[in-house]
Amino acid sequence: MSKNNQQSNPESRRQQLRAAQEKAAKQERTRKGVIIGVVALIAVAIVGGVSWAVVSLNQQKQVVDTVDATYTVVVGNADAPVTVDIFQDFICPYCGEFERANGEDVAALADAGTAQVRIHPMNFLDDASQGTKYSTRAANALITVYKAEPDKALAFNSALYANQPAENTTGLSDAEIAKIATSVGVSSSVIATFTDLSNVSFADNSTQAAFADGITGTPTILINGTKFSGNILTAGPFRQAVEAAAAGN
């Protein structure tokens, strides 16, 4: 399958990514003491044709030369010495693990002026919510809050992950998403627009821009364009890496 064909058929690409993630997750869960990584899909040429192989996210390109930040939720000062890019999908379980372990540090680093944080809300796991398109609905809600009340966006993002539904369920209902938004102080007038789904194209574009940048799985965390390959599921290593980057190390 050619690269052009993959890009012209995003639904097929999403299905391939999804299948690869599920296969690798099952394999990794059998390894005691090994942190489960999100997997990526790459084409491997073999005699007689092309086959697909699953590789660890750690084997992807380590540096992203140019990150398209057009469709992102941005928190923090543009003059911060470090830029952190977080590629996420709201039903991705490891995205939830990252947020629950590191969310407070993400907010603190942005508040302190150490890092500008750019969240890339992706929706390629929509097929993991039994047809309700939870990834899209949650991303749309986050983007809506960001555009109307940007100071509430990071708290809302964290609250959605604190209440994250399991994969292959229907996800949170619109009413549950609205209740979570209320809990972090989002105004009722903004919440009332969630079901308009007016920012779905933003989420779609964010997803396609991520694919174009070479992002092949979630969560992917970049620190000044370099993929963070440390432990994302435990508090500490991520913050230490950001602070080291800020210090020029």
The Cα 163–Cα 221 span in angstroms is: 21
**Least confident interval from 46-60, 103-117, 176-190:** 46-60
Q: pLDDT-based confidence at 238, cuts 50/70/90?
A: very high
Kindly state the average pLDDT of the residues 115-126. 98
Determine the residue type at 160.
L
Provide the Cα torsion 199, 77, 240, 238; round to 10°: 0
**Least confident interval from 43-47, 129-133, 163-167:** 43-47
Where in the chain is CATH 3.40.30.10? Answer: 73-246
pLDDT of residue 9: 58
Q: Which of 218, 236, 238 is nearest to 228 (CA)?
A: 238
pLDDT (tens digit, 9 = 90+) per residue, 32-52?
Answer: 333 333 333 333 333 333 322
Residue 37 Cα distances to 25, 92, 152, angstroms: 7, 12, 30
Whether 203 has a pLDDT exceeding 80, the answer reads yes
Antiparallel, parallel or unpaired: β 82-89 and 220-223: antiparallel
Distance in Å from the first CA to the final CA of the chain:
41
pLDDT of residue 206: 98
Which structure tokens are listed for 69? 């930040």
Answer whether 74's CB lies under 8 Å from 203's CB.
no
Q: pLDDT-based confidence at 141, cuts 50/70/90?
A: very high
Which structure tokens are listed for 215? 């992002």
In terms of Cβ atoms closer than 10 Å to its own Cβ (0-12, 13-18, 19+), residue 34 is exposed
Q: Report the percentage of the chain scoring pLDDT > 90.
A: 73
Three-state DSSP state, 75: strand
Residue 116 Cα distances to 110, 153, 163, 192, 241, angstroms: 6, 14, 25, 29, 14
pLDDT (tens digit, 9 = 90+) per residue, 50-100?
Answer: 322 233 333 345 788 789 999 999 999 999 999 999 999 999 999 999 999
Whether 16 has a pLDDT exceeding 50, the answer reads yes
Q: Where are the alpha helices (DSSP H) in the chain?
A: 3-8, 10-29, 93-111, 134-148, 153-162, 174-183, 188-191, 200-212, 237-246
pLDDT of residue 12: 60
- Taking the whole predicted model, whether its pTM rises above 0.85 is answered as no
Whether 27 has a pLDDT exceeding 50, the answer reads no
Three-state DSSP state, 84: strand
pLDDT of residue 52: 27
Q: Report the percentage of the chain scoring pLDDT > 70.
A: 76
Antiparallel, parallel or unpaired: β 115-122 and 73-75: antiparallel
* Residue whose tokens read 């992706």: 122
Which structure tokens are listed for 107? 């907010």
The Cα 84–Cα 110 span in angstroms is: 9
pLDDT of residue 53: 27
CATH architecture for the domain at 73-246: 3-Layer(aba) Sandwich (3.40)
pLDDT of residue 241: 98
What is the phi/psi pair of residue 158, to 5°?
-65, -40
Cα three-residue angle 208-212-218, rounded to 5 degrees: 70
